[in-house]
């Protein structure tokens, strides 16, 4: 009989196997995935932090429609992070096998300017974003020296949410090793993981544990 932990690990491993083709295909469908789910207006619109990295080599605007109001979507975004609620994505890769939360975690809801949102350990300026600004239920900006990650929640006419996110990254080719890591992460891993994350937020905010596309 499988234990709960064993089942979660097996499920996380299956997710990675299913998602593998997206990792390898990402560079070949770059123009499509850099705007996955986003409209022309959303791609052209201004997002928080756009002025911080004007010459980023990587810029992706993705979006998804969620059948829940912004007030119910916001808590899922606020608690994202390594060793926090996870990333609702490929837990085997980005959360060391620990399952992402499928509930709102109260201790991660009190967001403040300057808070760190870790992507990995050890937590430092390279591996963690800093909360640079936010308006509760409307938008949030995370920042680190070479990247920005912005979130915008727009209410829809049917009491839903249009969740738009934009990631911008510069590749520091003066430091080839670091640049190579950034290129690998952004050009291969960013799209499948961001897609999974958005679908994960949607599923949870709508009251489902996991998106059916990934079961």
pLDDT digits (tens, 9 = 90+) for 172-196: 877 777 767 787 788 888 998 899 9
- According to the model, what pLDDT value does residue 87 have? 94
- According to the model, what pLDDT value does residue 98 have? 85
- According to the model, what pLDDT value does residue 2 have? 40
pLDDT digits (tens, 9 = 90+) for 97-120: 789 999 999 999 999 999 999 998
- Most confident of the ranges 21-25, 148-152, 205-209: 148-152
Residue 1 has pLDDT above 60, yes or no: no
Backbone angles phi, psi at 77, to 5 degrees: -75, -45
Tell me the pairing of strands 128-135 and 58-66: unpaired
Domains by residue range for the chain, with CATH: 4-214 (3.30.530.20)
Tell me the pairing of strands 128-135 and 139-144: antiparallel
Q: In the predicted model, what is the mean pLDDT of residues 64-75?
A: 98
Cβ contacts of 31-37, under 8 Å, gap ≥ 24: 33/60, 33/191, 33/195, 34/59, 34/60, 34/61, 34/191, 35/60, 35/61, 35/62, 36/60, 36/62, 36/63, 36/191, 36/194, 36/195, 37/62, 37/63, 37/64, 37/198
To the nearest whole number, what is the mean pLDDT of the chain? Answer: 86
Identify the band that residue 20 occupies on the pLDDT scale cut at 50, 70 and 90: low
Percent residues over pLDDT 90 in the chain: 60
The answer to whether the beta carbons of residues 89 and 200 sit under 8 Å apart is yes
pTM of the model: 0.84
């Amino acid at each position: 009989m499988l234990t709960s932990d064993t089942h979660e690990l097996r499920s996380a491993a299956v997710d990675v196997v299913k998602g593998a083709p997206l990792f390898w295909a990402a560079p070949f469908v770059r123009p499509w995935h850099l705007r996955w789910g986003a409209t022309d207006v959303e791609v052209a619109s201004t997002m928080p932090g756009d002025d911080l990295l004007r010459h980023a080599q990587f810029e992706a605007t993705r979006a998804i429609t969620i059948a829940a109001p912004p007030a119910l979507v916001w808590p899922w975004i606020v608690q994202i992070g390594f060793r926090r609620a996870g990333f609702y994505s490929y837990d085997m890769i980005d959360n060391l096998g620990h399952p992402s939360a499928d509930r709102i975690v109260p201790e991660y809801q009190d967001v403040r300017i300057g808070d760190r949102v870790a992507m990995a350990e050890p937590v430092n300026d390279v591996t963690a974003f800093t909360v640079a600004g936010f308006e509760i239920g409307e938008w949030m900006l995370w920042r680190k020296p070479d990247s920005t990650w912005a979130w915008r929640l727009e209410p829809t006419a049917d009491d839903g949410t249009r969740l738009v996110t934009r990631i911008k990254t510069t590749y520091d080719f003066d430091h080839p090793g670091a640049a190579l890591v950034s290129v690998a992460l952004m050009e291969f891993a960013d799209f499948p993981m961001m897609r999974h994350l958005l679908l994960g937020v949607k599923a949870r905010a709508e009251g489902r544990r996991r998106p059916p596309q990934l079961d």
